[in-house]
Amino acid sequence: MKQKLVQAAMDMRNHAHAPYSNYRVGAAVETESGEIIGGCNVESSSYGLTCCAERVALFRALAEGHTSFNALAVATENGGSPCGACRQVIWDLCKEILVHICDKNGLLKTFSSSELLPDAFDDSHLK
């Protein structure tokens, strides 16, 4: 299953809309039921409106009715790891999951989401 998730993230790089940075990012999330849903980065000419691949994958999964996730993979040319904003959204929507980080050749390393965002702020602070 991990290999399928990694491959899906790598394949999603082909859908990246990255005319400004030319940095193509693919992501894929595995739902509780084992479904794999992909996303890619989508850039805007107003650069700050860009949405990262991880968030596109997660928002797409939510929009399709999924609310619980097992793992997420992100793939870039050179093994870049999720930005700070995505780390927060991954924690908010997935809590503790595995995050696989890949370069153009495949899986490089795996972290837990709490390793990526230690001592996170979340909904528990709002109750």
- Closer of 37 and 52 to ligand THU (Cβ): 52
- Cβ proximity of 89 and 83 under 8 Å: no
Structure letter (DSSP) for residue 15: G
Query: Which two three-digit tokens encode residue 43?
Result: 């850039």
* Terminal Cα distance for the chain, rounded: 35
Amino acid occupying residue 102: C
- Closer of 65 and 84 to ligand THU (Cβ): 84
Per-residue contact flags (x/-) with ligand THU for residues 68 to 107, judged by CB under 6 A:
------------x-xx--x---------------------
What is the Cβ-side half-sphere exposure of residue 102, based on CA atoms within 13 angstroms?
28
Of the residues 2, 11, 15, 23, which one makes contact with ligand THU according to CB under 6 A: 23
Q: Should residue 50 be labelled a site residue for ligand THU when binding is judged by CB under 6 A?
A: yes
Q: Should residue 41 be labelled a site residue for ligand THU when binding is judged by CB under 6 A?
A: yes
The stretch near ligand THU (CB under 6 A) out of 51-59, 61-69, 90-98, 119-127 is 51-59
Per-position DSSP letters for 18-82, written without gaps between them: -TTT----EEEEEETTS-EEEEE-B--SSGGG-B-HHHHHHHHHHHTT---EEEEEEE-SS-PPP
64 a catalytic residue: no
Of the residues 5, 9, 25, 58, which one makes contact with ligand THU according to CB under 6 A: 25
Binding site for ligand THU (CB under 6 A): 18, 21, 23, 25, 41, 43, 50, 52-54, 80, 82-83, 86
